[in-house]
Amino acid sequence: MKLLIATTNPKKIEELILLLNTPDVVPVYLNNVGITSLPEENGSNFRENAILKARFAGDKSGLWTLAEDSGLVIDALGGRPGIRSARYSEGPDKDRVLKVLDEMKNFPDDKRTARFIANIALYSPLDHSVQLFEGISEGTITYKPIGENGFGYDPIFYNLELGKTNASATLEEKNNVSHRGKAIRKVKKYLLNLSAV
């Protein structure tokens, strides 16, 4: 099965391809099908944004399409950065990390709870339907960046399942417990069942 990966984020593509690793799925990228941009993510939650991107790219390409929207939800900040995680401030990932750390500087350990949430939409060109899959990874926000791996908020997200920040883990370790890893495993199970029919 050819599966269009509807994202322009190279780091996200790398993780998704690694997680999707199965001989039954042949990844296709937006530039392979002449799609140069995705619609504005103006949904009210991760799920709506994932559906928006999957439908757009799936309708344009006529292919099975996977789109994902995810972000960091911090309880003390009322759920921010949430669906604006990638756009929480101008500039590179480092600037967004520093903004969160600044906003969290007065919160004690027990008020630093957070989670990464990933919603994946899988679009079928056969009937234009969308299946949804979710993964959640619980953790806390550190007081400073720790680790050199990963991307986004990984250096300040202490993953409770890992016992260290996402950025301190290898990609394989992170993928075993990450929000995206959990969601993708559900996608793979769905696709395997589909191919078995």
d(CA 158, CA 142): 6
Q: Which candidate, 44, 46, 114, 107, places its Cα nearest to that of 74?
A: 114
The one-letter code for the residue type at 38 is L
**Phi, psi angles (nearest 5°) of residue 132:** -115, 140
- The answer for residues whose C-beta is within 8 angstroms of residue 175's C-beta and 6 or more apart is 15, 18, 19, 181
Other beta carbons within 10 angstroms of residue 139's beta carbon come to 23
CA separation (Å) from 98 to 93, 112, 171, 191? 9, 15, 23, 39
Q: Of 24, 59, 69, 102, which one is the catalytic site residue?
A: 69
Token pair, residue 43, equals: 């949904």
Please confirm, yes or no, whether 69 is among the known catalytic residues. yes
Name the residues annotated as catalytic. Answer: 69
